[in-house]
Every structure is written in structure tokens, then in C-alpha cells.
Amino acid sequence: MRSENASAISTPVAASQSLTLAGMLFAVSMTFIDQTIVSIAAPDIIHELGLSSAGMQWVVNAYLLALAAFFALGGRLADVLGHRRMALVGILTFVIASALCGAVPSGSLAQTWLVAFRALQGVGAAFMFPAALAVVVEVYPVHKRGRALAVFFGIAGGLTAVGPILGGWLTSWTWRGIFWVNVPMALVAIVLTLMARIPNTARREPIDWAGAALIAVGMGLSVLGLQQASSWGWDSPATWLCIAGGLVVLVLFVLFELRTRDPLIKLRVFADRAFAADNAVLFFAMIAFVPVFFFASVYAQVALGQSANDAGLYLLVFFAGFAPGTQLGGRLLDRIGARPPMLIGSALATAGFALWAGKITDLSLGAQAPYIAMAGGGIGLLMTPASTDAVNRAIGASYGEVTGITQTVRNYSASLGMAVLGTVLLHSTTGNVEDALRTHGVPAEAAHGTAVEITKSITGHGEGGHGGGGASDASAELIDAVRRAFAEANGPVLYGMAAALAVAFGCALFHPGTKVTAESAADGETAAKVAEPGGATV
């Protein structure tokens, strides 16, 4: 017998699809921009408020930690309380926290204030995003979802690159503007949402608060360990205590969910081979997709000598491929299913990142641009089908819950990618810069220490931020050598991204190729039949 009250779910026919999509895009655009915009304003925030480098790192991390910890709960609340209602709750929470971040007072309270309301921003985003995506899925019928979510992910993903550009422009006025810009965007999102007349389909089901606490602690601890690995060191007990402790709690969460009557996450959805393959593809793709913004931005500033704003334009080359890739992926999903575009996209992205790595020491955007666009196009091609196909396979039309699952997977993967690939960049840069210093006559003993300081500076792990570090007073020839050493160090990072996409290709092979039809979606079932523990079909 099905535990879900499928009869309570109906496809809203009165809602305006275009207004709904526009409203949800304005809502989630704030969360995507906020992932990158704050880093650009960091030097100004540190200077005006007197924060330490470590304190500023917590300002950035607080948002990402809250996002990781509360995605699953946000998805479940969206199903229980209603997708439209939770989207509005998330928008209001996010924008209030944003306004308070911009209003941070100077003095001893500044760091605590900013960290606390950045965390509240993360909670708002975690409540908003699953609900917003569920609203779009609910409004569009199955045969149109691919195209609709292609626009959703294409525009929303592209806004991540806009963050550095917008951040640079706003910071020239005041760094507080990077938070206040969310206020008009939120107002537009709220007005469009109300105008769209979206029904609020709630489900009267209990919420597994114990499970919510377990996954919040598990995700929070493990992501914290990954975030702090570069600062604490991979050999630090604190790093591994957080990562291992978090993973242990997540195992306990799984065991608890399998035994509870009304779980936070219906883990049996992973018995659907297609759903499991979709999430595996997303996991390995996100190892590259989110970190590439950070690495490409730093590379453009250090190796190519561009300003922060120009570095943002460098990232737009990636989206010259990503945007059309998402549109094509959505159309292919609607016509032939998720498996073909996921296979083509992961193969294209693998080749793009590998070829980009081969050209990384050619300090010319023109030489790299075709491969950057190829990498972006490949990820765009696989992202929409993988994300949409996973949501389409929700048990009992629990779209918010399944969106919470996919976003948790993506967020954790991005943190893992940043931690591992960041360590690769750090060690590669240190070794390359040390060799360059020795070549230019710096004694071996001094070369290593200087290389470490330069590396920390140009990768953002030191007090000086992005820049030339210890090479600032050196000869132009030595500065050029350091830039080339750093450019070369980015090669292993890009090859690592290519390897992750190659694994994503292997995961896509396990997708059965089945397609969710309008009939199966209306019945609230997955395309592949999943049996409950008594043999009943859900």
C-alpha cells in the first residue's frame, strides 16, 4: 500500500507557467550569485570592519555550511507545507538576512553579526531552492519539463559567473551593496510568484526531526572538515575528526531512516537504477562544475594578469558553451530521455577539460577559449537531463524531497572538489614556484619558504589575497616565471576535473535508458517500479 497521499497532489493548471518560471528564477538567482560575489568584496570588508583573514573565511563558509546542512530538510518541508509557501518563506528569510548582512555595524560585534546572518542566508537558500525547483516541476507537464528546467539551470548557473563582475561593480560603490542588491531581486520574485497564482499543494505528513538533525550534523561536520582542510592541513586531527565524524553521523542517519515509519528521505528511491545513476552523474560532474569558477578566476588574475572584473568575463567563455548545452540537453531529455545527453555531455566535458589543461600554459585566452567552451557545453548538456530525470522519478510526487536529495549531493560534491583540487593546486604551485625561484638564483633553503608564501598569497590562503605575493618586488622576468609556474600548476587541476567527468560517463552507462512518461508521473510513481518492504508497488 502506498504511504503517500498521491490523491492530494494534482497538476496545477491555473498557474501561469512563464510567470512561475520567471519568479523562481529571480528567487534562486540570489543564491547562485551569492556563492561567488562575497569573495570579490572580501578585501574591502576586512579593511572596513577589521576582520582577520580567518574571520573572513568563516563569513564565506557560514553560508555554504548552512546550505549543506539544511537542503534535505528544506526539500521535505516544501512537500509537507507546500512548495509555493516554502519558496516564499525561503525568499523572505534570505532577503532579511541579506539586508542585515549589509547593515553590519563596525566594532567587536561585526564578525559575529556577519557570520550569523550569512548562516541565516544559507538556511533561507536551503529552504528556497528545493521549493522553487519543485514549483517549476509541478507547473510544467513531464513532456515540457526538460526545456523549462534547461532555462532554469542555464540562467541560474550562468549567474554564478556574474557574481564576480557584479561584485566588482557594487564594491566600487560600497561592499554593502553586494548584500543589498538581493532586496529588489527578492521583491520582484515575490511579486511574480503572487501574480502567477501558483496553488499551494501541501501534504499532511509528519516531519522526521530526528533525521533532520542527524543529516544536518553529518553534512555540516564533513563539509566543515573539507572546507578547512586547506587551512588546518590534511594531516591535522581536526580535519579528519570533522570529516570522519560527519560521515559516521551520515551512516547513522541512513540506518535511522531505514527503520523509521515517516523518514525525512525515502531512501528506497535509490533502488531506482535510473535515479541512482542520475545522482552519481551529478556527484562527479559537480566536482568540476562549481570549483572551476574559483580556479579559473584566480588563474585569470594571476597567470593572465587580469582584473577581478575581467576575470569574470573570462568565466563567461565557459558559459558560452554551458548555456546552449543546457538548452540542447533539455530538448534531448524531452525527446529521447536522459541517458544519451548524459553520455554525450560527460564525454564532451571530459575532452574539453583535458584539452584545456593541455593549453593552460599558453597564456592566451584565444588559444584556450574553444576548449573552455567545450567543457562548459559538455557539463550543460548533462546537467539538465540528470537533474530533471531525477526529480521526475520522485516517489508519490515528492518533488521537494527529491530536489533536496539532488542538491545535497551536488553541494557535498562541490565541497569535496574544492578541497581535493585546492590541495592539488596548492602543492603543484609550491613545487613549480620553488623550481622557478631556484632557476633564477634563489638559494634552495630560501626558495621553499618564499614559494610557500607566494603560493598562499596567489591562491587566497594567505593574508594578502590574490596577487603576486613575495614576487611583487622581484624582477619582471621572475614575476613572469612565477606566473607561468602557477599556470602550469593548474594543469593537474583541470586533468582532475576531466577524470571526474570520465567517471560521470561511466555512471551514465548504468542508466537503464527508461523515460518517465506523463502517465507514470501522473500516477506518482517512478519509471522503474520500486517495491515497498511488503511487496507492494509504489
pLDDT digits (tens, 9 = 90+) for 254-296: 999 999 988 998 888 899 999 999 999 999 999 998 888 888 8
Least confident stretch, 80-89, 234-243, 395-404, 418-427: 395-404
Where residue 473 falls among pLDDT bands split at 50, 70, 90? very low
In the prediction, which pLDDT does 422 show? 87
Domain ranges, ordered by start, for the chain: 14-206, 208-263, 431-487
Where residue 118 falls among pLDDT bands split at 50, 70, 90? very high
- Specify the higher pLDDT residue, 77 or 529: 77
- Specify the higher pLDDT residue, 440 or 500: 500
Q: Which of 154, 536, 478, 534 is nearest to 319 (CA)?
A: 154
Across the chain, what does the average pLDDT equal?
83
Q: Read off the C-alpha cell for 205.
A: 505528513
In the prediction, which pLDDT does 147 show? 85
Where residue 523 falls among pLDDT bands split at 50, 70, 90? low
**What is d(CA 350, CA 155) in angstroms, rounded to the nearest whole number?**
23
CA atoms within 13 A of residue 300's CA, in its CB half-sphere = 25
Fold type of domain 14-206: Growth Hormone; Chain: A; (1.20.1250)
Which distant-in-sequence residues (6+ apart) come within 8 Å of 300 by Cβ? 306, 310, 311, 314, 315
Classify 531 as helix, strand or coil: strand
**What is d(CA 492, CA 425) in angstroms, rounded to the nearest whole number?**
8
**What is d(CA 196, CA 207) in angstroms, rounded to the nearest whole number?**
28
Report the sign of the C-alpha dihedral through residues 168, 174, 176, 179, in that order: negative
pLDDT in tens, 493-508: 999 999 999 999 999 9
Above 80 in pLDDT, residue 15?
Answer: no
Torsion of CA 296, 326, 16, 87, to 10 degrees: -40
In the prediction, which pLDDT does 521 show? 52
pLDDT in tens, 319-349: 889 989 999 999 999 899 999 999 999 999 9
**What is d(CA 500, CA 494) in angstroms, rounded to the nearest whole number?**
10
Q: Read off the C-alpha cell for 516.
A: 518517465
In the prediction, which pLDDT does 164 show? 67
In the prediction, which pLDDT does 527 show? 37
**What is d(CA 73, CA 214) in angstroms, rounded to the nearest whole number?**
11
pLDDT in tens, 148-170: 888 888 887 777 666 667 777 77
CA atoms within 13 A of residue 31's CA, in its CB half-sphere = 36
Above 70 in pLDDT, residue 77?
Answer: yes
Main-chain dihedrals φ then ψ at residue 259, nearest 5 degrees: -105, -15
Q: Quick check: 390 and 279 in contact, CB under 8 A?
A: yes
In the prediction, which pLDDT does 519 show? 56
In the prediction, which pLDDT does 518 show? 57
- Residue 373: CB atoms within 10 Å: 20
Q: Read off the C-alpha cell for 519.
A: 502517465
Q: Which of 383, 415, 493, 411 is nearest to 228 (CA)?
A: 415
- Residue 43: CB atoms within 10 Å: 16
Q: Quick check: 390 and 342 in contact, CB under 8 A?
A: no
DSSP one-letter string for 345-379: HHHHHHHHHHHHHHTTTS--HHHHHHHHHHHHHHH
- Residue 335: CB atoms within 10 Å: 12
> Average of pLDDT values for 442-460?
71
Q: Quick check: 219 and 188 in contact, CB under 8 A?
A: no
Cα→Cα distances 351→280, 283, 354, 373, Å: 19, 18, 5, 11
**What is d(CA 43, CA 74) in angstroms, rounded to the nearest whole number?**
33
> Average of pLDDT values for 15-44?
82
- Residue 477: CB atoms within 10 Å: 8
Cα→Cα distances 283→74, 119, 138, 375, 490, Å: 20, 24, 24, 17, 22
**What is d(CA 442, CA 470) in angstroms, rounded to the nearest whole number?**
13
In the prediction, which pLDDT does 537 show? 29
**What is d(CA 419, CA 37) in angstroms, rounded to the nearest whole number?**
20
Classify 537 as helix, strand or coil: strand
Above 50 in pLDDT, residue 458?
Answer: yes
State which H helix or E strand residue 115 sits in.
helix 110-139
Question: Tell me, what DSSP letter sits at residue 64?
Answer: H
Q: Quick check: 114 and 101 in contact, CB under 8 A?
A: yes
In the prediction, which pLDDT does 95 show? 96
Q: Quick check: 412 and 222 in contact, CB under 8 A?
A: yes
DSSP one-letter string for 412-454: HHHHHHHHHHHHHHHHHHHHHHHHHHHHTT--HHHHHHHHHHH
**What is d(CA 285, CA 241) in angstroms, rounded to the nearest whole number?**
27
Q: Which residues of 223-252 are buried (b: 16+ CB within 10 A; e: fewer)?
A: bbbbbbbbebeeeeeebeebbebbeebbee
Q: Which of 59, 125, 139 is nearest to 91 (CA)?
A: 125
- Residue 529: CB atoms within 10 Å: 11
Where residue 482 falls among pLDDT bands split at 50, 70, 90? confident
Say what percent of the chain tops pLDDT 90: 40
> Average of pLDDT values for 66-71?
90
Where residue 535 falls among pLDDT bands split at 50, 70, 90? very low
